[in-house]
Amino acid sequence: MAPKLEDVAKLAQVSKTTVSRVLNNRGYLSQQTIDKVYAAIKALDYHPNVVARQLYKNKTNLIGILLPTVANPFFGELTAALEMKLYQQGFKVLIGNSMNDVAKETEYLNQLLTKQVDGLVVGTHNQGIKQYEHRDLPIVAIDRIMNQDIPIIESDNYRGGVVATTRLLDQGAQHVIHINGPKALATPTKRRRDAYETVMQDHGLTPLTYEVDFNMPEERKKALFRQIFSDHPEVDGIFASNDTDAALIMQLAHELGRRIPDDLLLIGYDGTKTARELLPSLTTIVQPIDELATTAIQVLNDRMQGVPTKQEYILPIKLWQGDTA
């Protein structure tokens, strides 16, 4: 039979309360008492009841990570970075692909509200879930506006849009089309669109943005991109909202006989390690994934400890200069 707390107390000749205080590092205890308790633990090969200790501390050391899909290189690499850094800080993680599933997201929020997890990192597309209305929740958002209270961790989307559009124009493009998410979606990534439209107008050019839902199936995306080439044969530059869309456009352009970069310039967004290894020729805006993860965890720790946080944390982007623009 496995040894119990009572057995440790008996061998160390202290009370069960004292053993519990040693295990949870609570209150003043003499070094002699601490040493006696740990000597008894070692002698008996006693393993504390982790669940009971977590309940005692009102802490689970579990963090929920809820992102749209880890199949997307950006979210996949972000999740990996978050998991590694949280593990190094003594946390375990629950990873959920929301896939636009309101019920799944609500379940994670309820786990937080009932103290089954200590905090949440979210980057989902669902809006209007009432659990987000609670103030001072230990939640941080990646590239999503949840409410006025939850801090947002993001790259400099506006600057990224300026750099991308300017790059295309400097390389000679005159008919540049931008692909972005639905305008109704509450996300700072819309600033890429704002920047694109401003730069185009400043150059006396007419901006044209196609809205493409993040969750749209690949075949529907390809049909939409094909329609862009059909409706606008004059297009000579495309600023894609992410590298996976840019990869689809590269594939389609090849099928249609459009040579990149000779008669079509193309720039993506995200600049993940995966994209840069598989498509090193793709010019793209690089988001600082490691810094995004580090900042998200720092801010989440502040939220869990009741430390005031800012509304936004904006991190710098950089340009990966490939051959497509």
Residue 48, pLDDT above cutoff 50: yes
Across 63-77, 120-134, 165-179, the highest mean pLDDT is recorded for 165-179
Q: Is 114 exposed, middle or buried (0-12, 13-18, 19+ CB in 10 A)?
A: exposed
Q: Bigger pLDDT: 25 or 55? A: 25
Choose among 195, 183, 203, 124: nearest CA to 156.
Answer: 195
pLDDT for res 267: 98
In three-state secondary structure terms, 154 is strand
* Residue 52 CB partners (closer than 8 Å, separation 6+): none
**Helix, strand, coil distribution of the chain in percent, nearest 5:** 45, 15, 40
What residues does 92 pair with on adjacent strands? 62
Instruction: Show the domains of the chain with their CATH numbers.
Output: 5-57 (1.10.260.40), 62-155+290-316 (3.40.50.2300), 157-287 (3.40.50.2300)
pLDDT for res 115: 67
pLDDT for res 55: 44
Mean model confidence pLDDT for the chain: 87
Q: Would the pTM of this model clear 0.85, i.e. be above it?
A: no
Residue 52, pLDDT above cutoff 60: no
pLDDT digits (tens, 9 = 90+) for 266-314: 999 999 999 999 999 999 999 999 999 999 999 999 998 888 899 999 9
